[in-house]
Structure 1
Amino acid sequence: MDRAVLFNNVRGLSQGNLGVPLLLLVILAMVTLPVPAFLLDVLFTFNIALSIVVLLVGVYALRPLDFAVFPTILLVATLMRLALNVASTRVVLLYGHEGGDAAGKVIEAFGSVVIGGNYVVGIVVFLILVIINFVVVTKGAGRISEVSARFTLDAMPGKQMAVDADLNAGLITQEEAKARRQDVTQEADFYGAMDGASKFVRGDAVAGILILVINILGGLMIGMIQHDLSFEVAAEYYSLLTIGDGLVAQIPSLLLSTAAAIMVTRQNSSQDMGRQIVDQLFGSSKALTVAAVILAIMGSVPGMPHVAFLSLAAMAGFGAWWMHAKREEVKAEAELQRQTAESVETEQESEQKDLDWADVMPVDMIGLEVGYRLIPMVDKLQGGQLLSRIKGVRKKLSQDLGFLVPSVHIRDNLDLMPGAYRMTLMGVVVGEAEIYPDRDLAINPGQVFGALKGVEVKDPAFGLDAIWIEPGQREHAQTLGYTVVDASTVVATHLNQVLQSHAHELLGHEEVQQLLDMLAKSSPKLVEELVPAKLSISSLLKVLQNLLMEQVPLKDFRSIAEALSEAVVRTQDPVALTAAVRVAISRLIVQTLNGPDPEIPVITIDPQLEQLLLGSVQQSQQAGESGMVLEPGMAERLQGSLIEAAQKQEMMGQPAILLVAAPVRPLMAKFVRYGEQLIHVLSYQEVPENKRITIVATVGGQHG
């Protein structure tokens, strides 16, 4: 165990885990402890080398994220340079009266060789470098960083949506989507960090000016008072050393500022900066030709340096000719390749196979298309709640219906109105509406106590009177008796209603097989005897679709399978099998319609009309047909009476249940299915023994 711990510690040290603490200790030591002149030379040289390396890495990086650690390196380099300034200031003020290399060879070289030993020239050069660094490079890079950070943050939601759209469309994998999302986040973090890092460089430039003034004044006082130097000697010694110290710090600072400016002005590209400059700046032979002509004209003017201008004109002319020739050669090669590719394609065209199934795009089982104003409703990054609402709708429907409702595929559609949406089932439009995403919908439930200002519409789900109101009117609308919901809830409720009414179309062979597989875990013998021994999956699917079409859930699938296993011996007719299943699960059906109430309020048909319907059904069965015949006038009166009775039941808060004889029930269920009111049709055999019937209306009489 001790060896393993020791090995991990050594490996962590070798991997640089202690690099940051050691660097902080070195910076602290340079600030507090005296540093010998030799060590100052080494550290100043290292600082210059680090700046050159950072600048070259920034030049050769293909995109900003390839050098994402640059803001941290900029901070560390700035802190180290300021610590070196403090250390060198201490040495200059302590030993500056000795002159020469009192503060190290590097400072002496920059103070004597670079500026020729003239401290006035040194001050001017130093100030020019500071102005270039502070006013030009740093200020421009800081502004670009600020704007880039702001625009990158504003563009994040759109980039995230683009990734999600490509993922939903199957253009990229989950891993690629994760990597692209990470790139978007890193890009925003990088430009935000660069916006702050530019402030370090500006502060460093200001600190350089202050340190120069303080060192010169401090050196003059120390040299004249403590070491009895004359003003001229003290000014020469301390000024040269101070200016050398300032130049040693400002040149790396200028290099790092240039590197920062290059990083924030880079564009994502597959080429490095040198290749981009050559391709874009000198990529046009016309520009070089015009430049050569202008230089030749300027060189011909008397008094101008003819050699310089004419030489550059000749070089520009030669470059323009060479680039034009190279471009023509590239065009010729491209044309030859195109012709070769066309000939190869022509030869292979006859051998290529026709379209395959991969070229056929399957339609979405459930689709939701939205206009561009509704896109934020499905974007979680913008606070959209529609996705979570749709997930809740699917979960609730799956629990109520007894099978897994397929997922909803959402996509934007620019052909729609900005605030419109459209629901599709197997590619066919089954519902559409226009909403206001920035408003709430106040729905009139039937009785309200005042009017509201807004856009009057019909509720998309149930066709009730409604008004789109401003969010500030929400509480007022609720006090008046309105039901107020947001735009996401409107879409989710509409989707729920559409899926419920088309539930039988969502059930297919795969879903039936899943139901059988789940039942086989608890009742394997039942499944083995039923499918496919007695009943095919297609016939079972038809029975289950009939149940869903009449709003009967499939939650008690075991009872359904047992009823089918018993009834399939007598008949294979899906309608008869459906009737047998309904009788077997009658308690579930009645509880779904009326709850646990012991009394069932029902609507009945006039006995004479019911006898007429029974006779019509029996004649059709004897003729080998299915159906019943009603006179148009009688059918119209019956439908009107049913609607009127159903509306009364709805006003009383009770379900509309039509009770008829068993042979008539399937046809009457089909008769009322497409009416304006939701009416459930039960047969006498489907009423459980523990329930009592209360007749609330009789329809179809002579005066009905």
Structure 2
Amino acid sequence: MATSIKRRLMDNTDVLAAIGMVGIVVMMVVPLPAGLLDILITINITASVLTMMLAVFAKDPLEFSALPSLLLTLTLFRLSLNISATRLILLDGQAGDVIQQFGEFVIRGNPVVGFIIFIILVLVQFIVITKGAERVSEVAARFTLDAMPGKQMSIDADLNAGMISDTQARDRRKAIQQEADFYGAMDGSTKFVKGDAIAAIIILFINIIGGFIMGVAMQGMPLLEALHKYTLLTIGEGLVSQIPALLISTATGLVVTRAASESNLGNDLAKQLFRNPKALFITAGVLIMLAILGLPPFPMIIVAIALIGAGVMLRKNSKVLVVEETAAARESEIEESKKSENVLNLLNIDHMELELGYALIALVDVQQGGDLLDRIVLIRRQIASELGFIVPVIRVRDNMNLQPNQYVIKIRGAEIATGDILADHYMAMSSGFDDDAIPGTPTKEPAFGLDAKWINAMYREEAELSGWMVVDAPTVLATHITEVIKTQAWEILNRQDVKTLVDHAKEQAPTVVDELIPDILSLGQVQKVLANLLRERVSIRDMVSILETLADQAQVTKDLDRLTEHVRQALARQILQPLVGKDKTLQVITLDPKIEQSILDSIQPSDYGTYLALDPKILQVLIINLSKEVEKVMLKGLTPVVICAPLVRINLKRVTERQMPQLMVLSYNELVQGVQVQAVGMVGMDRAS
């Protein structure tokens, strides 16, 4: 029964909070009986003490992230109690037992003493604690916001270096945002406490003056009796409200000043105040000296003896701690030696690596102005936007076995590409009309193989004016990395990546995912279809459309090549968009029907899909004639596109992708309405003489 009630309360905390806020506002208007007011005042004191304790035991400001809202709620609650107590004091001449007993206990029935204590409490809260907490919150909010870009860059750098995972990076970014929001909210919420302190002083004088008028004019009390009675009640009510307010202000100050803490307040003070025995001995000596000079010796000597005793104990404990740390260090060394014998860690292979010669380390060193890690972050975002999948973390490391200016790009431990760059030079790429008088070291642009030369920074402007395209060394490397990722994306994509993409698509279309996987196709089969698309640089960003097409077509065939063609048809507009001009015209190279029929007749099935068993002579003729047509199209500044039958398309692409990787091969089924096709060439057998 108790568990059921607790569960219902926890499930409806939002409703309870809403009712509580409405009740606080209602208290300002509806008169409350003295007994209920006593209970509410007790709740106010309890909430203030609890808030103070939570602030003391908090290890990090974000552990108490609800403090700004709680501060507003408690301030509003306290003001509503002030109004309710004022109503009872003026109407009935009493405000409950708590206020009455509190006034008599704290100020011993003396209104003058109570008034002075009240003013002191308000001044301490308003001038010292609240003002300091407000300033700390303001500065912390400003510095936190200013430091956000640097912290974000640090997280991205750690992510690219493989020091943290994507989940850890996401959590760190969220924590930084929460920290900035928290200090910004605290900067504003401290104004509530300041306003509460001002309102307390005003309410105090209103109660005294109003009570004096009520007692003398309405109840016919003598002047001194009315002044004594209402002043006593007012001071008691003020103290009842201001002591909890002081606790809340102190809790606020504790939370906003614990930005660099390592543990709770008690542990921090114990570790830092009593860390050095010498400091305790010197402090004890100062106290003994003051006692000798004439100050009361009893308290001075007692405290000095306590400090000396604490210093002796700390010195003994420190010696024991050194012994324990030495033993722990030895045990740690033994464990590390055991771990070093475990070769399983050597079997781990990174998805993608970038190895740099020692002369290129400056490109990733932030202190030397290197921004390559930031560029890699942008590359991963660019690939996610263009191709639709998240590139795994690219681990960057130095390799002393490389040449000083050499770099190597690896995928799963295998070298995919390499190049040489001069970190302190610029690469000037030829545009066909260049000035050879510009001095430089001839080279090849590593990503596309263009003619280029490395030039000194002093010749950069001159080279640009002469028609050279000039880029810095980090851009050259970043471009090469981007091109490698785009070319090898189908090889980088693994099942875990596909699982992440499918889970993301499931948030938008759970029905199609549940229908397709695993009942119709396995995750591995979906991966192969996506890899086929990426192999031809078709974006898989529209995962919902891809999965819907697979769910429809996989009922008919499980052939992955045919499923890939069906998906390409569903993505036809996306594929054609970069190929058609403003006039919606697609210029293509066609195939002689005889060649198409020869390819169709040569398609053979296998356990790994279909393959093309074409006569080598016919294949050679096809490649030669197709190369000639592609060259003609490229000389016109156009992207070479071949159009053929759907069953021919994928096999033709596979036999031509090594010799002509830039060639786009489309099927007739990928032509969408509104696109005009214009043939600019035909590949036929009669041209192979």
TM-score (norm 1): 0.60
Does the 8 Å CA contact 2:422/2:473 hold for their aligned counterparts? no
Alignment root-mean-square deviation, CA: 5.7
Structure 1 residues 139 and 307, CA gap change in structure 2 (3 angstroms):
same
The alpha-carbon deviation at position 88 of structure 1 amounts to: 0.8
Identify the residue that residue 358 of structure 1 maps to in structure 2. 345
Deviates more, 1:78-87 or 1:37-46: 37-46
State how 1:551-570 maps to structure 2 within 5 Å.
none
Larger of the two Rg values belongs to structure: 1
Q: Distance in 2 between matches of 1:593 and 1:496?
A: 26
Give CA deviations for 1:529-550 in whole Å, capped at 9, x if unaligned.
Answer: xxxxxxxxxxxxxxxxxxxxxx
For 2:28, the aligned partner's letter is: V
Alignment of 1:334-353 (within 5 A): 334-336=325-327, 338=329
Query: Is contact 1:375–1:412 with CA below 8 Å preserved after alignment?
Result: no
Shift of 1:518: 6.3
Candidates 630, 634, 652, aligned match of 1:592: 630
Q: Which residue of 1 aligns with 2:298?
A: 307
* Correspondence 1:356-505 to 2 at 5 A: 356=343, 358-359=345-346, 367=354, 370-371=363-364, 372=366, 373=369, 375=371, 378=374, 386-390=379-383, 409=394, 411=396, 424=409, 426=415, 429-430=418-419, 432=421, 462=450
What is the rounded CA distance, in whole Å, between the counterparts of 2:108 and 2:528 in structure 1?
90
- Paired-residue identity, %: 34
Distance 2:482 2:71 in 1: 56
Q: Which residue of 1 aligns with 2:315?
A: 324
Following superposition, the deviation at residue 147 of structure 1 comes to 1.9
1:333 deviates by 3.6
Query: Quick one: distance in 2 between partners of 1:126 and 1:95?
Result: 23
Distance 1:117 1:408, change over 3 A: closer
The 1-side partners of 2:72 and 2:130 are apart by 14
In structure 1, give the amino acid aligned to 2:301: L
Instruction: Indicate if the aligned counterparts of 2:352 and 2:395 stay in contact, CA closer than 8 A.
Output: no
Which string of whole-angstrom CA distances, capped at 9 and with x for unpartnered residues, describes residues 175-210 of structure 1? 444443333333222222222221111111111111
Structure 1 residues 326, 485: closer, same or farther in 2, change over 3 A? Answer: closer
Deviation at 1:312, TM superposition (A): 1.1
Q: In 2 relative to 1, CA 489–593 (structure 1 residues): closer, same or farther, beyond 3 Å?
A: farther
- Structure 2: distance between partners of 1:411 and 1:281: 43
Instruction: Find out whether 1:216 has 2:213 as its counterpart.
Output: no
Whole-Å separation in 1 of the counterparts to 2:238 and 2:391: 71
Q: Please give the alpha-carbon distance, in whole angstroms, between the structure 1 residues aligned to 2:251 and 2:481.
A: 55
Could you tell me how far apart the structure 1 residues matched to 2:597 and 2:305 are? 94
Asked whether the equivalents of residues 423 and 432 of structure 1 are also in contact (C-alpha less than 8 Å), the reply is: no
Structure 1: gaps spanning 5 or more residues:
1-6, 97-101, 396-403, 449-457, 469-476, 526-555, 566-575, 597-649, 656-672, 679-685, 694-704
Q: Is the 8 A contact 2:161 2:394 kept in 1?
A: no
What per-residue deviation string (whole Å, max 9, x for no partner) do you get for residues 410-458 of structure 1? 759999xxxx997746387425477999xxx99996789xxxxxxxxx9
Tell me, yes or no, if the aligned pair for 2:136 and 2:256 is still in contact at 8 Å.
Answer: yes
TM-aligned CA distance change 1:577 to 1:41, over 3 Å? same
**Contact residue 59 and residue 259 of structure 1 kept, 8 A:** yes
Maintained 8 Å contact 1:443/1:467: no
Alpha-carbon distance between aligned partners in 2 of 1:442 and 1:353, rounded to the nearest angstrom: 48
Q: Which residue of 1 aligns with 2:29?
A: 32
Name the CA distance, whole Å, in 1 between partners of 2:165 and 2:232.
Answer: 64
Q: Distance in 2 between matches of 1:392 and 1:214?
A: 65
Query: What is the DSSP-based 3-state SS (H/G/I as helix, E as strand, rest coil) of the residue aligned with 1:595?
Result: helix
Aligned AA for 2:208? I
Partner of 1:83 in structure 2? 80
SS of residue matched to 1:430:
strand
SS at match of 2:63: helix
Counterpart contact for 2:277–2:314, Cα < 8 Å = yes
Structure 1 residue 315: Cα displacement: 1.3
C-alpha separation in 1, matches of 2:327 and 2:477: 57
Verify: 1:189 aligned to 2:178, yes or no.
Answer: no
**Alignment TM-score, normalising by the size of structure 2:** 0.61
The equivalent residue for 1:241 is 233
Distance 1:250 1:486, change over 3 A: farther
Q: CA deviation at 1:141?
A: 1.1
Between 249-258 and 183-192, report the one with greater CA deviation. Answer: 183-192
| 2:64 match | 67
Q: Residues 561, 8 of structure 1: CA spacing in aligned structure 2 closer, same or farther, 3 A cutoff?
A: farther
Give, in angstroms, the shift of residue 114 of structure 1: 0.9
CA, structure 1 residues 421+83, in 2 after alignment: closer, same or farther (shift >3 Å)? farther
| Residue 136 (structure 2) pairs with residue 144 (structure 1) | yes
Letter in 2 for 1:309: M
1:437-482: per-residue Cα shift (whole Å, max 9, x none)? 9xxx99996789xxxxxxxxx99975689999xxxxxxxx99x999
Alpha-carbon distance in structure 1 between the residues aligned to 2:425 and 2:204: 64
Q: Shift of the alpha carbon at 1:226? A: 2.8
Aligned residue-pair number: 522
Is the CA contact (8 Å cut-off) linking 1:295 and 1:310 kept in structure 2?
yes
CA–CA distance in structure 1, aligned partners of residues 238 and 157 of structure 2: 55
Q: CA deviation at 1:252?
A: 0.3
- CA distance in 2 between counterparts of 1:586 and 1:45 reads 94
Is the Cα–Cα contact under 8 Å of residues 40 and 88 in structure 1 kept in the other structure?
A: yes
**Contact map agreement 1:292 1:313 (CA 8 A) in 2:** yes
Q: Which runs of 5+ in 2 are unaligned?
A: 357-362, 435-443, 457-463, 496-526, 534-556, 563-594, 605-613, 640-658, 663-680
Distance 1:592 1:522, change over 3 A: farther
Shift of 1:18: 2.1
C-alpha distance after superposition, 1:104-140 (max 9, x if no partner): 1222223332112222222211111111101111111
Per-residue deviation, 1:579: 7.9
Work out whether residues 291 and 297 of structure 2, in 8 Å CA contact, stay in contact via their aligned partners in 1: yes
For 1:655-679, what per-residue CA distance to the aligned partner results, in whole angstroms no more than 9, with x for missing partners?
9xxxxxxxxxxxxxxxxx9xxxx9x
